[in-house]
Structure 1
Amino acid sequence: MFERFLFIQYQIDDSTVHVITCNGEELEDLKSLDDNEFAANETCRLIKLFTDDESSTVHVSIAGGRKTMGFYAGYALSLYGRAQDSMSHILVLEDFEFATNFYYPTPYEHFVGKYNSQEHLNAQHAKVFLANIPFVRLRNTLPTTHPLRMNNYQFSDVIEQLNQVNQSLSLEINVTQRYIQVNNSIKADLPPREMALLMWFADYKIQGKAGLKAPTGSHKGEMSFAEQEYTRELTEEYLIHYDELKESDTNIEITKDFFDSTKSKLKKHLEKQLGNELAARLMPKQNGRSTPFSLPIDKDQIVVVNNFKDRVI
């Protein structure tokens, strides 16, 4: 009875060896802060590159080398690894762990010096074990539009983005240049309608108001008189902020459909540029179904920069 084997040939040459370089020069070792930063960024970039190829299977070995390199590789694989990817470490019998000039179990007799001893060990008798390391796979928990999935992010950016989630939050709304900035570091650009909506909620928070009650009517012809009046009041309030963005749209009316649609688009823009976690901390929320919407941050955490009015709130 014959068994059929499938052999896969892997190309291993200069084209498949990636050397960390700085300004065109190969790094011989990691001995400075800059060296470590280059190693982190390049390791993260390569693992993301390899895992973006759906036909690939990535295996990361953290055995040997500088401890920082093993950590970076394992961390990057946790961020970008898929179901088919794996990570391992190599274990060796304790006697050989620090043996002098021991590299691998040789197929022939080869004696090496035992650590801190005059005794010699035969490398032919050494035993090594491949230990698979389970790791948390975060890739599928992030949408494809998440900033960490973008190609222009380096390792330091990834760490900063993740750490922002656990920090106290500050929000700057720059009306003049039409962007928001979170914790003085991460910026996001918003279209006029979504920007005006966030400004509206921020203004309510700054003024100490309880929150903004969402409209209930969708079509003017179907609204009660009270709903029409409330829609008119909301529209006037919203247009105060919308007009500050130098936009004119006389067709805007804050109906239920407009409110829900604009709020949903705001959420998508924030998630795409800030990630789901930070976006969730900035989106207007209700404490209950019948309660008003309010920003989930304190008023002293909000700064509005508006050079159109030449003032800072």
Structure 2
Amino acid sequence: MNHEIVLSKIIEMFNEILIFVAGATPQIITETIYALAHAKPPVYPDEIYIITTETGKKRIDETIIKKQILHLMSQELGMPPVSLTDDSFVIVRDMGGNPLNDIRSKEENEAMGDVITSFIREKTKDMNARLHCSLAGGRKTMSFYMGAALQLYGRHWDKLYHVLVSPEFESNPEFFYKPKKNRVIECKMPDGKIKKLNTKDAKIELAELPFIRLGSKISLHGKGFRELVAESQKEIDTATMQPQLMVNLAERILYIGNKPIEMLPVELMVYTAFLKQKTLHCKYPERQYCLDCSECFQTLVDFSSRHATEEMAKDYMKIYDGHSFKSEEFLNKWSNGIDTGVIRQNISKINRTLKEQLQDDTLLPYYSVAAIKKYGSSRYGVRVEKDKIKIE
């Protein structure tokens, strides 16, 4: 059985969930359902959710629900029964928990973004569900948030659509779908005249919109939309600019991405000390990203202390396959702490080794040992993100 057949079998098992953002034009709901029912293969909703305002819900109640449009469409077109209940509506609320009537202010827009993002995040947790998201309704910012939320959390099988309707039927309050039997409806033209339209001339098409799926590529922890966007951008920036740095002391080698970097034992020991200063002694562990923070940078005097030397000795022993005599030999030589001049010499050697073997000037600033003037003295450290460092 080939991959396409397997995928089609999996898709047949999905719970089909339709999600809309809607405002003053509830027709986009029925038009999208109609278009999906005529797709090849057809898609019939198991669940429908509409993210809207209090005013939007009232408009849908007055049209689709009270007029039983979905029921009539299902009967006429031979579709499985489709209905809307109170559970179908996701109403955007303000900070006080009051339902919003419209989306106009900055705060209201952000509330809408947070609601849409949170809802999509929850629905994508169900691996047996396939989302069909429509961004045709509501204000433009609502459509943007729907598309952006799907980029953050959408899986490979989730879909994003925009429904396209013939201009003369678009937003017509009397047109909800294309019936089997022709009907005549009236349309008020820009000049004020009334024009009679035949529904047989209407065209309803569904444009599937491609989108970048980030959910499986990055780890997101933020709650609000603005926070998630900043977090995603940082993940992308560090993923493209800062490959993983992995140190294997036993093999006396480190990798930057897939690039192996070979160092002499003493160089590797000193370099590991700078890396551990970043991973083990971060002053702001609650921060997910280092960015331009250099609070973990220390003076060479700090790195040459007796305690720091003893920590280096432990790694030195690992480099020599656990032979304790190497550690003891090292500590005997530097009983009062390693000389700062030796550390400075090895920094130069480390940076030269990285430059020669990495051969990428765009990465070098992140992985080389950098010096900055801070608090009246030079302090040293590495700029690579702490979560990119792994030491074995």
Q: Normalized against structure 1, the TM-score is what?
A: 0.55
Q: Which residue of 1 aligns with 2:203?
A: 127
Question: 2:193 aligns to what?
Answer: 118
Q: Quick check: 1:217 aligned with 2:217? A: no
Does 2:340 match 1:229? no
- Report the counterpart of residue 203 of structure 1 in structure 2: 298
State whether residues 96 and 114 of structure 1, in contact with CA within 8 Å, keep that contact through their aligned partners in structure 2: no
Q: Distance in 1 between matches of 2:151 and 2:105?
A: 25
Q: CA RMSD in A?
A: 4.9
Larger of the two Rg values belongs to structure:
2
- Which residue of 212, 218, 223 maps to 1:136? 212
> Structure 1 unaligned runs (5+)?
188-197, 238-284, 304-313
CA distance in 2, matches of 1:53, 1:186: 38
Superposed displacement of residue 60, structure 1: 0.6
- Identical counterparts, % of pairs: 21
Alpha-carbon separation, structure 2, partners of 1:76 and 1:63: 15
Partner of 2:130: 57
Partner residue of 2:285 out of 169, 176, 179:
179
Tell me, in whole angstroms, the C-alpha distance in 2 between the residues paired with 1:94 and 1:234: 85
- SS of the residue 1:82 aligns to: coil
Q: Which digits, 9 at most, give the CA deviation of each residue in 1:231-261, with x for residues without a partner?
A: 9769956xxxxxxxxxxxxxxxxxxxxxxxx
Q: In 2 relative to 1, CA 50–186 (structure 1 residues): closer, same or farther, beyond 3 Å?
A: farther
Letter of the aligned partner of 1:57 in structure 2?
A: R
Matched residue count: 225
Are the aligned partners of 2:187 and 2:196 in contact in 1 as well (CA < 8 Å)?
yes
Shift of 1:164: 3.9
1:17-36, Cα deviation, whole Å (9 max, x unpaired): 21111122111111100000
**Post-superposition offset of 1:118:** 3.4
Mapped partners of 2:142, 2:203: distance in 1: 25
Q: Hey, which bits of structure 1, 4+ residues long, moved more than 4 A?
A: 5-9, 165-168, 172-178, 180-187, 204-207, 230-237, 285-291, 297-303
Indicate the residue corresponding to 1:75 in structure 2. 148
Q: What is the identity, as a one-letter code, of the residue corresponding to 1:81? A: G
Task: Report if the CA contact (8 A) 1:101-1:113 is conserved.
Answer: no
- CA separation of 1:185/1:295 partners in 2, compared to 1, >3 Å: closer, same or farther? closer
Tell me what 1:44 maps to: 117
User: What's 2:85 paired with?
Assistant: 13
Q: 2 CA distance for matches of 1:20 and 1:299?
A: 50
Work out the CA distance in 2 between the residues paired with 1:134 and 1:235. 63
Gap change, CA 1:286 and 1:29, over 3 Å in 2: farther
Q: What are the ranges of 5 or more consecutive residues in structure 2 without an aligned counterpart?
A: 1-41, 48-82, 242-277, 303-311, 339-352, 376-392
Alignment partners' CA distance in 2, 1:301 and 1:27: 52
Asked whether the 8 Å contact 2:186–2:195 carries over to 1, the reply is: yes
CA distance in 2, matches of 1:85, 1:224: 57
Letter in 2 for 1:220: H
1:87 deviates by 0.6
Q: Against the structure 1 CA distance between its residues 290 and 79, is the aligned structure 2 distance closer, same or farther, given a 3 Å change threshold? A: closer
The separation in 2 between residues aligned to 1:96 and 1:231, in whole angstroms, is 89
- Name the CA distance, whole Å, in 2 between partners of 1:231 and 1:82: 58
